[in-house]
């Protein structure tokens, strides 16, 4: 209850987030005293449900931010806090990320947080986006994305940040980066992370053309690692996790860091420049106009 009450207070969350962002770097998590006090591992907050199984050492994080698990400031803040809690708990060795929403893993960044806001709000939002990516990409845990629905843009970024991706084999679902289609450019660190997974050419095509792939095409280019029937996504993720956890933690962690540190270091070195670039781009009238049109289009589609 104490945690839930805390999570409901947005201003406290914002404070926590800035503390998180100021103390984590290069994949090493610095622990805030408030969170040290929160040793409970099973937590339910409005936008995330975390089930931690002490006996297996595996946590399943269910995103539950209806209707489409958009990555809003509130969601990202809760996500970062939940990640930090799990990371601190040495008995938690694996994390499965999945969705409680039908048909959608995550619709990506919440466009409402990028539209018609004040400069300080854009800054706060982008810091949360950067922090989410750093926490997930540099996690010491084994991270598996159980992609049980569509996963465009920021949803794809979340999946790509995990160690392994299992997607529901349903041709109605899509994954990829569609940003250019509505006039937005993905951040450079998104490009870097994607390149390490699917190579330069696939990244170039995807990002320039704003491509979303159906599951079988995503598998072909290596954007996901495995397709399974929809009702077996979580079970397969759990089985796969057991395999990964059979590897001694220290060897796997050092290897993961060896693979990912160069990208993380590069991003850390341009973090503030990335922030300035984002604020300047997102606050432009032309960008706002495009986002407005896109939002209208999303709403019309429904009507
Ligand atoms: N943010 C906010 N609201 C959203 C978003 C979103 N990303 N996606 C959907 N919604 C809203 C819709 O407007 C709709 O609202 P309402 O109920 O008021 O009409 C509601 O969610 C439900 O949406 P749909 O009816 O479209 O739901 P479906 O189940 O039919 O489809 C999809 C689900 C496939 C996820 C679909 O909603 C979709 O394609 N959404 C858009 C996805 C998208 O384009 N995301 C891009 C976000 S930008 C990003 O992540 C990276 C930006 C990098 C910025 C860099 C700047 C420098």
Measured in Å, residue 101 CA sits from the centre of ligand 1 at 13
Distance in Å from the first CA to the final CA of the chain: 39
Tell me the pLDDT tens digit for each residue of 101-124.
999 999 999 999 999 999 999 999
- Check pLDDT > 90 for residue 246: yes
Burial (Cβ within 10 Å: 0-12, 13-18, ≥19) of residue 27? buried
Measured in Å, residue 145 CA sits from the centre of ligand 1 at 20
Task: Name the least confident of 30-39, 119-128, 221-230, 235-244.
Answer: 30-39
- Report the distance separating Cα 2 and Cα 48, nearest Å: 16
Structure confidence at residue 300 (pLDDT): 84
- Check pLDDT > 90 for residue 209: yes
97 contacts 156 by C-beta, under 8 angstroms: no
45 confidence band (pLDDT: 50, 70, 90)? low
Please list the alpha-helical segments (H only) found in 210-232: 215-221
Average pLDDT rounded to a whole number, residues 243-258: 98
- Check pLDDT > 90 for residue 49: yes
Structure confidence at residue 33 (pLDDT): 34
- Report the distance separating Cα 101 and Cα 148, nearest Å: 9
**By alpha-carbon position, which residue is closest to atom 1 of ligand 1?**
110
Task: Name the least confident of 32-46, 77-91, 150-164, 209-223.
Answer: 32-46
294 confidence band (pLDDT: 50, 70, 90)? very high
Assigned token pair, 183: 């006039």
Structure confidence at residue 43 (pLDDT): 61
Assigned token pair, 173: 């679902």
Tell me the pLDDT tens digit for each residue of 67-90.
999 999 999 999 999 999 999 999
Q: Where are the beta strands (DSSP E) in the chain?
A: 43-44, 48-53, 58-63, 94-99, 142-147, 151-152, 164-168, 175-176, 212-213, 226-228
What does pLDDT average to over the chain?
88
- Report the distance separating Cα 224 and Cα 252, nearest Å: 21
Query: Residues near 150 by Cβ (< 8 Å), separated by ≥ 6?
Result: 103, 104, 105, 107, 172, 173, 174, 175
Residue in 145, 25, 47, 46 with CA at minimum distance from that of residue 96: 145
**Distances from the Cα of 96 to the Cαs of 51, 99, 166, 240, 242, in angstroms?**
10, 10, 10, 10, 11
- Report the distance separating Cα 60 and Cα 52, nearest Å: 6
Average pLDDT rounded to a whole number, residues 24-39: 37
Structure confidence at residue 301 (pLDDT): 73
Percent of the chain with pLDDT over 90: 83
Average pLDDT rounded to a whole number, residues 145-170: 98
Q: Residues with Cβ within 6 A of ligand 1?
A: 67-68, 70, 103-104, 107-112, 150, 152-154, 178-179, 184-187, 278, 281-282, 298-299, 301-302
């Amino acid at each position: 209850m104490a945690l839930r009450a805390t999570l409901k207070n947005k201003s406290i969350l914002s404070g926590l987030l800035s503390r998180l962002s100021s103390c984590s770097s290069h994949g090493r998590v610095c622990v805030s005293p408030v969170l040290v006090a929160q040793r409970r591992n099973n937590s339910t907050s409005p936008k995330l449900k975390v089930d931690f199984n002490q006996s297996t050492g595996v946590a399943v994080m269910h995103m539950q931010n209806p209707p489409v698990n958009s990555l809003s400031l509130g969601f990202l803040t809760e996500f970062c806090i939940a990640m930090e809690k799990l990371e601190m708990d040495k008995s938690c060795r694996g994390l499965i990320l999945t969705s409680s929403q039908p048909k959608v893993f995550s619709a990506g960044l919440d466009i409402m947080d990028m539209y018609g806001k004040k400069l300080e709000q854009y800054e706060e939002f982008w810091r949360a986006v950067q922090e989410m990516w750093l926490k997930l990409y540099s996690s010491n845990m084994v991270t598996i994305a159980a992609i049980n629905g569509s996963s465009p843009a920021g949803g794809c970024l979340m999946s790509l940040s995990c160690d392994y991706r299992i997607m529901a084999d349903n041709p109605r679902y899509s994954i990829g980066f569609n940003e250019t289609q509505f006039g937005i450019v993905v951040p450079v660190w998104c490009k870097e992370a994607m390149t390490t997974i699917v190579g330069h050419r696939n990244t170039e095509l995807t990002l320039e053309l704003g491509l979303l792939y159906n599951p079988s095409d995503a598998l072909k280019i290596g954007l996901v690692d495995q397709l399974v029937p929809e009702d077996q996504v979580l079970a397969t993720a759990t089985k796969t996790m057991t395999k990964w956890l059979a590897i001694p933690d220290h060897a796997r962690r050092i290897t993961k860091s060896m693979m990912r540190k160069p990208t993380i270091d590069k991003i850390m070195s341009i973090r503030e420049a990335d922030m300035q670039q984002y604020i300047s781009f997102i606050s432009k009238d032309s960008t706002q106009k495009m986002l407005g049109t896109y939002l209208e289009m999303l709403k019309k589609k429904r009507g």
